[in-house]
Chain A
Amino acid sequence: MTTTPDGEVTTTSEETARGCPVIDFDFTVERPALEYFTFLDGLREEAPIAWNTYGGGFWMLNRNALVGEAFQTPEVFSSSATVPTLPNPDYHFIPTMENGAEHRKYRAVLNPQFSPKVVATLEPSIRRDCIDLIESLVEKGSVDLVADFAMVFPTKVFLQIVDLPAEDTDTFVTWVEDVFAGLGNAAKAEGMAAAMEGIRVYFTTFMEEWRANPGDPETSFFGRLLNSNIGDRPIRDDEFLNMSLVLLLAGLDTVKSQMGYMFYHLATHPEDRQRIIDEPEIAANAVEEFLRANAIVMDGRKLAQDVDFHGCPMKKDDMVMLTLAAASRDTTEFDHADQIDFDRKAVTHFSFGSGPHRCLGSHLARLELRVVLEEWHKRIPHYRLDPAVAREDIVESGPQLGLSSLPLVWEV
């Protein structure tokens, strides 16, 4: 049984899981940029559904329609565990890992705070943060886009939305990186636990201060959350702390990773970059294409019951990866699916998930990415990969796909 980076999957009859292809594929290894996408393109064509023996073993759904079906059948594909290699996590994220009516109660509190209308009111301040950060880089002429910009900007946006001091940016950046490094990677579990504890203590202190000296609940994000009702009862302290952690984790690393791929593409495709410079009005559609062509989240679900899923007999408690990176480049769904095409007509993609757990921050993420495209190219229109760094040293890894660094240079 072999799997190769260029997407070849070979199986023999005894290597099929209950009739479906088996692979052994580790998502945590660093590979040159975009290799995971190419590999997953190949896998999707050969195996719409595969069993991956990596970790504890999990199913992979690799076609768009299969992923959509799983998202939209939450009574079968439950969210009680959402990292494919962690079927029995020792944490419980709210609302991420809630299901059904309980989940709906939490979302009813959170959705209005992240609705498109509310997010739109934040645009001026998000744009200001973005401009300030870019202007601090212009004169440098070189940057690690990932560490110096893509991680910092969403953190600043987050702190501003939730009214926490901007000086805490660096602390949050480190915590979030440690948590993500530990998700699905046992070797880094300790650092993850320490970071989660740090975040918990931070928010506990905040909560106690707020309770002792409540501000106006209408003007502060966490004030509103602390004052909210879950169904017909007030929110509990543990729920507040849990949700605060989840909001933090969900909003930062994802935007960072997406931005890394966006700039990698633009640095290596000057003609596309020129279009962003010349026609900034295409930015919103360009963002949609970046989200589709480089979907970074490898969402997981846990089987709530036995099911025969398109010929693969899945068992209760099996884990399933919804391989968005493969699904959103599905050749049966999209023309020239592996190409980024700013003129592509509006399409349906699942990069923000689907079904009841649809990404809460999707409207905010779209806004952040669009503002970055617009403002960056007004100030630093021309840039390229640092020629001093070999192409194969620009690497990515999963499980949530992202570039480790992206060295860019420009003339000053």
Chain B
Amino acid sequence: MTDTTDTTTDTTEPDGPFRVVIDRDKCVGHGRCYSLAPEVYVDDEEGFSELADGDTPATPELRDKARLGAVTCPEGAISLVPL
């Protein structure tokens, strides 16, 4: 079986700049990310998540928002990849 801790390592929170990656195969449209962090995530027609504006949050505020979306996603669909 897969180990569920994988989902938490997916969403470890890098200190420095990072790229946001949404795994569209894992996303099932809970909408936590775009409800809590609409600056970074938006919903498509089915309610699945897309990036609002590029995959690299430029400011510390946007990085915090990106992290919030990542940790609240029940599917672990959002990864933050250090640049």
Contacts and interface: CB of A to CB of B under 8 A. Distances in A.
Contacts of B45: 112, 115, 117
A346 B30 contact: no
B71 interface: yes
Contacts of B5: 65
A356 B30 CA distance: 10
A68 interface: yes
A111 interface: yes
A117 B43 contact: yes
Interface size bucket, B side? 20 to 34
A352 B46 contact: no
Nearest to A115: B47
A326 to B, nearest CB: 16
B9 interface: no
B32 interface: yes
Interface in A326-355: 346-350, 352, 354-355
A355 to B, nearest CB: 6
Interface stretch (A69-77, A170-178, A384-392): A69-77
A69 B4 contact: yes
Interface size bucket, A side? 20 to 34
A352 B29 CA distance: 11
Contact of A116 (B2, B47, B71): B47
Contacts of A73: 1-2
Contacts of B46: 108, 111-112, 115
B74 A350 contact: yes
Contact of A349 (B31, B35, B71, B74): B74
A310 B74 CA distance: 21
A348 B28 contact: no
A355 B46 CA distance: 15
A111 B75 CA distance: 17
Contacts of B47: 111-112, 114-117, 363
A116 B31 contact: yes
B76 to A, nearest CB: 8
Given A72-B4, A72-B7, A114-B47, 11 more contacts: A69-B2, A72-B2, A115-B29, A115-B46, A117-B45, A346-B68, A347-B72, A348-B72, A348-B73, A358-B30, A358-B74
